[in-house]
């Protein structure tokens, strides 16, 4: 195989991260869903990357809590059904230009159902295999927008307070997710991926 390297400028650097559906509370106490893929974990902290203009980030900043719901790969059609929408009304010009339309109820649009949470007022998404209840700890502005426009992105740190998992995803009698059954939905260069194969264990796997 050739090892020659090319210099390239990919439009996105989405090499592959799990899809996370953030649920936040609207001012009228209804719930909004924001699909993201810029999400990763450090111990009980989740770090999220969110565009500065959106209903999810507005709600999260105000309410300081959310649920983070991990869909399995078979839910990708439902995720894509809500993908072109925002909870913002009116839809800001920047999102109209990108093709977004308003949806007041992404649960109905995507065919998702709510489940009550235990430590936050924001509901979870019942269909998602793993659901995390979290509170906002901090956010950090990022991106290249001009000083007048404010940041393009916010890098958000949230603390996970409670974890729910579908019973058939947990090794009986333990707190372990069964990696033989876990089939997360990944977002890879704006394509949905699933069916990840287990290649082997890290030396620290329990």
Q: Which CB, 38 or 170, lies closer to ligand FMN?
A: 38
Question: Measuring CA to CA, which residue among 164, 176, 104 is closest to residue 128?
Answer: 164
**Residue from 18, 19, 75, 130 in contact with ligand FMN (CB under 6 A):** 19
Binding mask 50-89 for ligand FMN (x = CB under 6 A): xx--xxx----------------------x---x--xxx-
Distance, first Cα to last Cα, the chain: 36
3-state class of 170 per DSSP? strand
Is the Cβ–Cβ distance between 132 and 67 less than 8 Å? Answer: yes
Q: How far is the CB of 153 from ligand FMN (least distance, A)?
A: 7
As measured in angstroms, the least distance from the Cβ of 85 to ligand FMN is: 6
Can residue 35 be called a binding residue for ligand FMN (CB under 6 A)? Answer: yes
Verify binding: residue 37, ligand FMN, rule CB under 6 A.
Answer: yes
Looking at 36-44, 64-72, 134-142, 167-175, which segment touches ligand FMN (CB under 6 A)? 36-44
Binders in 95-154 for ligand FMN, by CB under 6 A: 100
Alpha-carbon distance of 54 to 35, in angstroms, equals 11
How many angstroms from the chain centroid is the CA of residue 152? 18
| Cβ–Cβ < 8 Å for 108, 85 | no
Are residues 177 and 165 in contact, defined by beta-carbon separation less than 8 angstroms? Answer: yes
User: Which residues contact ligand FMN by CB under 6 A?
Assistant: 19, 32, 34-38, 49-51, 54-56, 79, 83, 86-88, 100, 187
């Amino acid at each position: 195989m050739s090892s020659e390297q090319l210099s390239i400028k990919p439009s996105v650097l989405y090499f592959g991260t799990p899809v996370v559906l953030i649920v936040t509370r609207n001012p009228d106490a209804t719930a909004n869903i924001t699909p993201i893929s810029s999400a990763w974990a450090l111990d009980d902290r989740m770090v999220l990357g969110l565009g500065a203009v959106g209903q999810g980030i507005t709600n999260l900043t105000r309410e300081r809590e959310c649920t983070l719901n991990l869909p399995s790969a078979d839910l990708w059609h439902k995720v894509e059904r809500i993908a072109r929408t925002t909870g913002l009304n009116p839809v800001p010009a920047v999102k109209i230009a990108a093709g977004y339309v308003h949806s007041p109820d992404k649960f109905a649009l995507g065919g998702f159902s709510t489940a009550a949470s235990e430590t936050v007022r924001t509901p979870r998404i019942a269909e998602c295999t793993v659901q995390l209840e979290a509170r906002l700890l901090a956010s950090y502005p990022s991106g290249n927008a001009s000083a007048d426009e404010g940041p393009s992105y916010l890098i958000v740190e949230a603390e996970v307070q409670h974890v729910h998992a579908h019973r058939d995803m947990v090794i009986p009698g333990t707190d372990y997710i069964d990696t033989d059954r876990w089939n997360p939905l990944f977002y890879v260069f704006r394509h949905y991926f699933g069916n990840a194969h287990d290649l082997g264990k890290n030396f620290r796997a329990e």
